[in-house]
Structure 1
């Protein structure tokens, strides 16, 4: 392969990558900061929107449960039309003999108006238990919404910085291919001058081919990362997303003890598990209400017109009713036993969630600390690899270095630079994971 051929292959590789991007990017170019990406992620995430609907439904159930504490009023109106009015006849003597005279005692059209006021004076604790269950359910829904939001923020942040990493890695791979092409040109000149063997030229051509394949693979990975983030944000899949954030080595200092304490007190999952215990306790109270009497007061006002004397006659009545179920075949006892078992399960779940959160915080903290150390190590490795590549190119151009040495130096430098970018991105990803775990 000549120098012109190597350069032509590199140009073809770059052109193919640009063409693929042009074909895939049918949508607009969108510049997004991390905050903007998170906002879009929250607005378009179906799971988060579903959790919002659950919270609204739980809030409505609180209103429903509270209705049992206040009186209820009903009003009704009835209109009845009869084809024939009821009547009775009596004999009436007259000059021509006895005749029968009809006297109606009902109307063909009857209007009735009724109003009823009902109030549950005592329910055995059923109403209070229902209100407590609804309130605890609302708190659990709010905690679940907060947990879902934290998850969306974490996933969006991860995808955002993974796109940055993929773009940087693609640029590094393309630059490595360009360096490999220049190495082929240098090897070809040395081969023509008789200072290098044909094997040296072939080695550099092979290195160029490998670099071109790596550049294509990296460009494809960047396109996939762009598509993944677009899908997560629920925007045009063909959009080209330009992240405005940068990768940096900036680190934050955390105390593991403080993180554990914060997670224990503020993690939504922990709060939701504790709310589940409260719900189970209220369910027991609701079940026990089946053993107690219920007392209700009812006041009813009704009038019908016309009546026998064709004038409205209001009828006010008051009813005080007490109901006590003396035997239900074990239904109430079974409900109490079921609710007690659910309470035990809820308490066990609290411990499981607490242990899980504790482990998650520890893992996230250690991963973040390790990510910081990896950044320092990767930076040192990149600095060393850059210098090694520079020296190898000088040695090869002077005819004192081998093609194998140069190819290895190029590969090592590309790997080191890619690993450094990956370490920077991983630092931000592990930070987002730690923030999610500790409810920061």
Structure 2
């Protein structure tokens, strides 16, 4: 009976589909879920946690090292010497020893202090990189989120175009049977109808893929279902920032961009790393202490009273005088790395300025285009209405209707794309000036 029940459970678990979760998302929830679940952010957080441990490791170099060692030796053959014609055996059969060694570095050329500074600078750099990764991930997910809304609208628009083309085809077929429409009118209507089908299929595929992209970015099971709570409408993400000029935006980018802060910290860390090479030319001084107990016996039953204790304190000074020029080469390499980081810093500053300019002009363009696209859509919609009316009364041709229909579909798609571009370019402009985090902080 138990075996039958087990087999039944296995079969039903494989046949029955897994229960899907339905997840409702607004753009605020998308941001929160990105910050908590995005895999790239989690990976960067682990890098930051690892660097935090490196800081503690740097501080640990100031502490003494303590080692315990226990040794038990069995001498298979003892050394024998001959003196004055007599043989003497040296040592005992068993030797037992245990000791504790403590070493405290007193002076290391300053390398420990510089190491702490470097590791702290790298920690600050990774902290800024983590902020930058959060902004990148949020921007990607919001693009995917609004991409879903756009894909839904485009899919709906393409389906409407199919329905309109099909309705127009039925109307032309009716007029053709009555003799009021020509063979050419019928062929045009058929061509228009069949040309909308591939576009509708493509729009539907893009809609499905856009959902999967957002699930991937939010680390959601691909089998789950998403319900988007927002509609495709214009958002005002910039608020008072849109009144700032280009120079003010560049200054904001210079002050707030996490990428620039991160590379500045890395440049300082690389610059401080040169002192490691300088410290290699200086002597090192360490204090060592040793506590040791030894016992020598020809029997293996050693007692505590058989051990002899010894204590030593040693001051060790070491100064490498010549190593084939390796230390000088290391110093030159450290200088080269600093120069490389300086060039990278300058390149980053230029790239960020160009990025601000691009997004600034794209935003200005998006604002103007959105107004024009909305007006064009309204005009084409009215033109389509009049064309259908005139065609029904026999005052225009079927070609006029097809042209008006094509114009309206294109203008509607362009307007929807314009809304998407308007929202996204605002987010990109916020990121380029280092203030994308204002939408969730």
* TM-score interval, smaller chain: 0.7 to 0.9
- Distance in structure 2 (CA, Å) of the matches to 1:425 and 1:361: 20
**Residue 269 of structure 2: which of 236, 256, 279 is its match?**
279
Whole-angstrom CA distance in 2 between matches of 1:399 and 1:238: 53
Q: Specify every segment of 5 or more residues in structure 2 that has no aligned partner in the other structure, as ranges.
A: 1-18, 81-88, 299-303, 436-441
Equivalent residue of 2:280, what SS? helix
Judge conservation of contact 1:72–1:119 (CA < 8 Å) in 2. yes
Correspondence 1:262 to 2:252: yes
Aligned to 1:211: 196
Q: Does residue 295 of the first structure (1) align with residue 295 of the second (2)? A: no
| Aligned length, in residue pairs | 401
**Partner residue of 1:11?**
none
Residues 115-165 of structure 1, C-alpha deviations (whole Å, 9 max, x = no match): 222111111111112222222222222222222222221111112211211
- 5 Å-filtered alignment, 1:145-164, equals 145-164=130-149
Aligned-pair distance for 1:287? 0.3
Stretches of structure 1 that go unaligned for 5 or more consecutive residues are 1-25, 88-103
- 1:377–1:232 Cα change, 3 Å: same
Q: What does 1:20-39 correspond to in 2, within 5 Å?
A: 29-39=22-32
- Asked if 1:439 corresponds to 2:434, the answer is yes
In structure 2, C-alpha distance between the alignment counterparts of 1:213 and 1:294, rounded to whole Å: 77
| Larger gyration radius, structure 1 or structure 2 | 1
| 1:241-264 residue CA offsets vs partner (Å, 9 max, x unmatched) | 332222222333422344322321
The structural deviation recorded for 1:56 is 2.1
What does residue 360 of structure 2 align with?
365
2:388 corresponds to which residue?
A: 393
Larger displacement relative to structure 2 (196-205 or 304-313):
304-313
Q: Secondary structure at the match of 1:241?
A: strand
Checking the alignment, whether the CA contact within 8 Å between 2:93 and 2:297 is kept in structure 1 is no
The aligned residue for residue 201 of structure 1 is 186
Q: Does 2:315 match 1:330?
A: no
Paired residues of 2:234 and 2:423 also in contact (CA < 8 A): no
| CA deviation after TM superposition for structure 1 residue 84, in Å | 9.7
State the partner residue of 1:71: 64
User: Any idea what the Cα deviations from partners look like across 1:159-192, whole Å, max 9, x if unmatched?
Assistant: 2211211110110111122122222233334334
Matching residue within 198, 217, 222 for 2:207 = 222
Worse-matched range after superposition: 362-371 or 331-340? 362-371
For 1:374, the equivalent position in structure 2 comes to: 369
Distance 2:327 2:295 in 1: 47
Change (3 A) 1:86 1:336: closer
What is the alpha-carbon distance in structure 2 between the residues aligned to residue 30 and residue 180 of structure 1?
35
Work out whether residues 227 and 238 of structure 1, in 8 Å CA contact, stay in contact via their aligned partners in 2.
no
Q: How does 1:82-231 map to 2 (within 5 A)?
A: 111-231=96-216
Relative to structure 1, the CA distance from residue 177 to residue 237 in structure 2 (aligned partners, 3 Å threshold; closer, same or farther) is same
Moved more, 338-347 or 182-191: 182-191
Give RMSD over aligned pairs.
3.0
CA contact (8 A) 1:186 1:397 kept: no
* Distance apart, 1:65 and its partner CA: 1.6
SS at match of 1:291: coil
Instruction: Report the Cα distance in structure 2 between the residues aligned to 1:213 and 1:328, rounded to whole angstroms.
Output: 74
Question: Aligned to 1:314, what secondary structure does the other structure show?
Answer: strand
